[in-house]
Structures are given as C-alpha cells and as structure tokens.
Amino acid sequence: MNFAGEVKQAVTPRAALLVLGTLVLQLLFIASYVGALHRPVPTDVPFGVVAPPQVSPQLVTTLDELPGGPLDPRAVDDAAEARRQIMNREIDGALVVNPSGTTDTVLVASGGGSALANSLGKITTEVLAQQQRTARIVDVAPASSDDFDGLSSFYLVVGWCVGGYLCASILAISAGSRPANARRALIRTLVMAAYAAAGGIGGALVIGPVLGALPGSFWGLAGLGALVVLATGMITLALQALTGIVGIGLAVLIIVIAGNPSAGGAFPLPMLPDFWRTIGPALPPGAGTWVARSIAYFRGNAVTGSLLVLSAWAVVGTALTLLLSLRHPRTEPGEDAGDAGGAAAGTGPGAPGTPGAPPGGAHTV
C-alpha cells in the first residue's frame, strides 16, 4: 500500500472532521479567554453617591462623565442605605461624602471581586484628590484572608462544571453517545443526579471545612454545587443525544470556552467587554460564581435569578435527553446486530425454540 493509501486508512474522513473541529475549539478558546481578560477595564459600574443635596447632583454628574465611563453613579439617601444596596448586590460600591471634613468614605466589597474593589478605590481617590479631598476605603463585604482576590468561588464552580461534563462524557463514551432507549436515558439521568449530589457535597466539604477557603453556609454551597453539576451534566447528555460524540465538543464550547472567561471570576462582570458581560450571567459558570459569592459574602442575597438560570439548564437538558431517546431506539454498542436481527426473525440465538433460548421464548434485556 502506498503512502496515500496509508493516510486514508489511518485518518478517516470522520476523524479528519473531528480533528478540524478540535482545531476550531482551540482557536475559539484562545480568542475567548484573551478577548475577555486581556484588558480589564471597569465600565458602567453601579455606584452609589451619598452627599448633601446641594452637592449630590454635581458630584453624580462629575462621576458619570469620567473618561471611559467607568461608573454608573446614582444618588443614595444615606450610608446605611448604600451598605444595604451593596449587600443586596444592587451596587458595587459607594462614595459617602463627609460634609464636616475633607476625608470621605468609599464603600467597596472585595468579596465580589478584589480587582473591582481596588479599581473603585483608585478611581474615587483620584477624583477626590482633584478636589483637595482624601478617601478612606471601607470594605463592607471583605473577601476571606484565605480567599486570594476572591477567586475561590470561581474555581469551585469551575471544578463543579468540569465534573458535570466529564461525567456525562464518560457515560456516553462507555456505552454510546446516544442512549438506546428511554429507559437507558433515564438511568443515565439518575446516575447524573446521584453524581451531582456527591459532587456538590464533596466540593463544599473541600472548600469549607478542609481548606477553609470560603465562608458561608455549607449546605447552601453543597446544594449549589449539586445544581451546577446537574445543569452542566444534563446539557452535555442532551447535546450528545442530539449530535453524538460532537456533543462533547459543543459542551466544551458552551461551558469552558464561552462560560469560564465570562463568569466574572478573575475579573467581575463590570470589568469585562460587553459581549462576555452579556452572556456570562446566562451560562452555568457565571450563574454559579454569582451565587457562590452571594452565599459566602453577601448573606445569600440576590441569588434567585442565577438559580433560575441553573435550573433552566438542568430542566432543559433533562427534557431533551429523555425526549430525544424516544426518537430512534437502537442497538447499544456491544450488542451483536446480527444476533438481534436473527432473534427478531426467529432464527438467531435467543429466538424461541433455539438452543440457549429462555424458557417459554422470553427475551432478556
């Protein structure tokens, strides 16, 4: 056989397409991560301003017209209300003007991301310096000393997402990417649910009692973890049921390539470009990171929307997995198609009346 023939034997058209798809995913990975993270700049950050009535409108306008539009300022009644809005994650920081002195207070929340908190402190300090005033930075929701830059929540959720799509991928690779029938699809779903529960509890155990990296409710984090794993796992199973082995690549595209850089982990959402800032909250890594930080540092506030996002991924993935399994019942890999056909015709092994057939012609599954 000549070299060209060897190439045809070694690299089938299907393998060539899969390799090409892998190259595309690789380039998208680079473009997405570098595009999202190479130049983090705060833009339209929700920011409160507490100041006397005669000063507040002018100060809001000054902050709103800063070059590059880093802040989206709005007047807030008092410091207590500003703190409440920060803890409810309605704003990311606030400036509290001291009417009887020249030192004002800047409220930030490093638990939502140290990079953003530091940027807000720097921006307001520079603005106040132009007015011969100084700033005192107060962190109302500080990140744990064992949670460097507030990244533990993000890495926790990334781990859950990786576990979800890897478990679903293994289930597919080991017994066929498309389940043979609805019963086997249901079995995969139940396995995925059990794995999600174990993964959620295990992740919360590691991040909390074992490493002490993240405060907050253990069972709250465990429940979040189970939902994140289930959401990523079930959407992976659904994509595999729809497209076969290509579904694994599609899951990587959604969860890893699009989801991770837009999750607000390394840099919170207000510091990401518009595209990633828009898609992040709608994808499992972003929704999970938001809830994990809320549980750890913001008393569990403002989690309803993100939990609904994760639930939607889990429900849609489960429904598609089960519905798609009803379309084309098929023989599972490992079964002998000839035997199956022979049994159907009454002539192969397992057919009634032939050696090895169950008594009474009953079939085993």
Cβ contacts of 315 within 8 Å, gap of 6 or more: none
DSSP readout, 150-186?
Answer: G-HHHHHHHHHHHHHHHHHHHHHHHH-SS-SSHHHHH
Closest CA to 204 of 190, 217, 187: 217
Kindly tell me if the per-residue pLDDT of 340 is higher than 50: no
pLDDT classification of 328: cutoffs 50, 70, 90: low
What was the pLDDT predicted at 184? 85
Q: What is the pLDDT of residues 3-35, one digit of tens each?
A: 777 777 777 888 888 889 999 999 999 999 999
Report the run of H or E that residue 353 belongs to, with start and end: none
Mean pLDDT of 323-337: 59
Q: Which residue has the higher pLDDT, 316 or 172?
A: 316
Closest CA to 171 of 200, 192, 186: 192
3-state secondary structure (DSSP) of residue 46: strand
What was the pLDDT predicted at 236? 96
What was the pLDDT predicted at 12? 83
A 10 A CB-CB count for 30 gives 11
Q: What is the pLDDT of residues 179-208, one digit of tens each?
A: 667 888 899 999 999 999 999 999 999 999
Query: Which residue in this structure is represented by tokens 């990079």?
Result: 115
Going by the DSSP 8-state scheme, the letter that residue 9 receives in this structure is: H
Report the run of H or E that residue 355 belongs to, with start and end: none
Kindly tell me if the per-residue pLDDT of 347 is higher than 70: no
Closest CA to 192 of 151, 150, 238, 159: 238
Kindly tell me if the per-residue pLDDT of 365 is higher than 80: no
pLDDT classification of 235: cutoffs 50, 70, 90: very high
Q: Which residue has the higher pLDDT, 10 or 125?
A: 125
What was the pLDDT predicted at 180? 63
Q: How far apart are CA 281 and CA 79, in angstroms?
A: 29
pLDDT classification of 339: cutoffs 50, 70, 90: very low
3-state secondary structure (DSSP) of residue 280: helix
What was the pLDDT predicted at 343? 35
Q: What is the pTM of this model?
A: 0.86
Q: What is the pLDDT of residues 41-86, one digit of tens each?
A: 999 999 999 999 999 999 999 999 999 999 999 999 999 999 999 9
Q: How far apart are CA 354 and CA 41, in angstroms?
A: 75
Tokens at residue 232, please? 């990523």
Kindly tell me if the per-residue pLDDT of 298 is higher than 80: yes
Tokens at residue 1, please? 């056989």
Kindly tell me if the per-residue pLDDT of 356 is higher than 50: no
> Residue 321 CA to chain centroid, in angstroms?
20
Mean pLDDT of 290-303: 98
55-91 residues labelled b (16+ CB within 10 A) or e (exposed):
ebeebbeebbeeeeebbbbbebeebeebbebbbebeb
What was the pLDDT predicted at 155? 97
Closest CA to 188 of 18, 324, 3, 20: 324
Mean pLDDT of 300-308: 98
Question: Across all residues in the chain, what is the average pLDDT?
Answer: 88
Tokens at residue 279, please? 């898609």
136, 105 Cβ separation under 8 angstroms: yes
DSSP readout, 63-116?
Answer: HHTSTT--EEEEE-S-HHHHHHHHHTTS-SEEEE--TTSSEEEEEE-GGG-HHH
Q: How far is CA 109 from CA 90, 139, 236, in A?
A: 12, 5, 35
What was the pLDDT predicted at 177? 61
Going by the DSSP 8-state scheme, the letter that residue 44 receives in this structure is: S
**Is 1.10.287 the CATH classification of the domain at 45-139?**
no
Kindly tell me if the per-residue pLDDT of 145 is higher than 70: yes
Residue range(s) occupied by CATH 3.40.50 in the chain: 45-139
Kindly tell me if the per-residue pLDDT of 273 is higher than 60: yes
Dihedral of the alpha carbons of 127, 262, 312, 112, in degrees to the nearest 10: -40
Alpha helices in the chain (DSSP H): 3-10, 13-37, 56-64, 79-87, 114-130, 152-175, 182-205, 218-243, 246-252, 274-279, 284-297, 304-324, 337-345
Percent over 70 (pLDDT), the chain: 88
